[in-house]
């Protein structure tokens, strides 16, 4: 059981580490809001069979208040966070976005302390400090050649996604992570489709153009750009990166533990830049290498104590 769980962790890591690179390849083909809405809608559809099976097994019927909760989570995680994420990918290097998004578990720890009153320990504080050092080194404010907007978006996306994770924790405990993810994907994408429709209202489109936001909020396309030549890339993003990626993530959580599954975000900062180098030709400067080391040390400080406790408990039980 455990070995199979680690296979899911490996698959999740590879899929999630390729995400920024694949999304970067769609730059200029799809509108950020369009590709985000479509990939989470199709990804949500992929998760429906898993979600329905879990609801039936646990004899759960969704109520109206549950749908409203999922809609709120979809707004936080998909509508806000993932749109910032997509814009970050288009604004700066895919490798930078991939590394900075991996700081998400640390944001979750801090927010869980303030919002859920979960305990925060010395190793969490150490992890946060190491992560901050890593982020500062990667940004390299004294010799910064990266887009300031891209950096802001790259940090805003994981912060909002951490809010999504923290606020969704109670729902996950009740319904399971797959159900929460599926519903928030579908409802979050529905909210984006609604927003896209609003941008076609002449008065809204004109106001956006006058404000200099026409590229983002005026006449956002629904299906333009989806041609036979880009269809494989589009389907890979929707089905593999989003649907299968998150399905593997939650299967890993089912078969191992949340702490062991968080190893995904330990390896992602290493693998994502390598994918960006191999596929996009993005160089990995010395500052990024040093920053990655600090972020890895931060992740290790956060994950290792929990993994050691799990190992001790397993040895005691055996």
Instruction: Give the pLDDT score at 217.
Output: 85
DSSP per-residue codes, the chain: -HHHHHHHHHHHHHHHHTHHHHHHTTTTTS-HHHHHHHHHHHHHHHHHHHHHHHHHHTT----HHHHHHHHHHHIIIIIIIIHHHHHHHHHS-HHHHHHHHTTHHHHHHHHHHHHS-----HHHHHHHHHHHHHHHHHH-GGG--S-HHHHHHHHHHHHHHHHHHHHTHHHHHHH-HHHHHHHHHHHHHHHHHHHHHHTTSHHHHHHHHHTT-HHHHSS--SSTT--TTTHHHHHIIIIIIIIIHHHHHHHHHHHS-HHHHTTHHHHHHHHHHHHIIIII-----HHHHHHHHHHHHHHHHHHHHHHHHHHHHHHHH-
Are residues 74 and 187 in contact, defined by beta-carbon separation less than 8 angstroms? yes
Stretches where the chain sits below pLDDT 70 are 1-2, 258-259, 310, 314, 317-318
Q: What are the tens digits of pLDDT across the range 139-169?
A: 887 777 778 888 999 999 999 988 988 888 8
The reported pTM is 0.86
Nearest to 170 by CA among 77, 73, 79: 73
The pLDDT assigned to 179 comes to 93
Measuring CA to CA, how many Å separate 8 from each of 5, 251, 253? 5, 7, 9
d(CA 303, CA 90): 31
pLDDT at 54: 93
| pLDDT per position as a tens digit, 20-70 | 999 988 877 888 899 999 999 999 998 899 899 999 999 999 999 999 999
Q: How far apart are alpha carbons 140 and 4 in whole angstroms? A: 40
What's the pLDDT score for residue 2?
Answer: 53
Tokens 């994502």 belong to 272
Q: What is the pLDDT of residue 75?
A: 96
pLDDT value, residue 18: 93
- Could you tell me the two tokens for 107? 């944001």
- Cα-only R_g, the chain: 20
């Amino acid at each position: 059981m455990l070995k199979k769980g680690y296979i899911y962790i490996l698959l999740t890591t590879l899929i999630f580490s390729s995400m920024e690179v694949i999304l970067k390849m769609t730059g200029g083909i799809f509108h950020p809001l369009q590709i985000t809405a479509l990939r989470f809608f199709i990804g949500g559809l992929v998760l429906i069979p898993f979600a329905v099976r879990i609801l039936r097994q646990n004899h759960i019927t969704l109520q109206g208040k549950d749908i409203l909760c999922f809609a709120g989570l979809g707004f936080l995680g998909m509508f806000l966070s993932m749109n910032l994420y997509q814009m970050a990918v288009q604004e700066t290097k895919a490798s930078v976005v991939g590394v900075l998004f991996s700081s998400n578990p640390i944001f979750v720890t801090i927010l869980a302390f303030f919002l859920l009153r979960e305990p925060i320990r010395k190793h969490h504080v150490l992890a946060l400090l190491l992560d901050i050092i890593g982020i500062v080194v990667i940004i390299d404010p004294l010799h910064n050649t990266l887009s300031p907007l891209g950096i802001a978006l790259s940090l805003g996306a994981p912060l909002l996604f951490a809010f999504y994770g923290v606020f969704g924790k109670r729902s996950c405990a009740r319904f399971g992570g797959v159900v929460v993810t599926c519903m928030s994907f579908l409802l979050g994408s529905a909210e984006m489709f609604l927003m896209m429709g609003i941008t076609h209202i002449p008065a809204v489109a004109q106001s956006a153009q006058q404000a200099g936001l026409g590229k983002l909020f005026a006449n956002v396309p629904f299906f333009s750009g989806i041609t036979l030549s880009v269809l494989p890339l589009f389907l890979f993003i929707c089905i593999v990166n989003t649907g299968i990626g998150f399905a593997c993530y939650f299967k890993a959580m089912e078969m191992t533990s949340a702490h062991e599954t968080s190893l995904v975000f330990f390896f992602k900062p290493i693998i994502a830049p390598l994918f960006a180098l191999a596929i996009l030709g993005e160089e990995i400067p010395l500052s990024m290498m040093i920053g990655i080391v600090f972020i890895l040390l931060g992740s290790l400080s956060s994950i290792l104590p929990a993994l050691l406790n799990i190992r001790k408990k397993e040895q005691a039980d055996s």
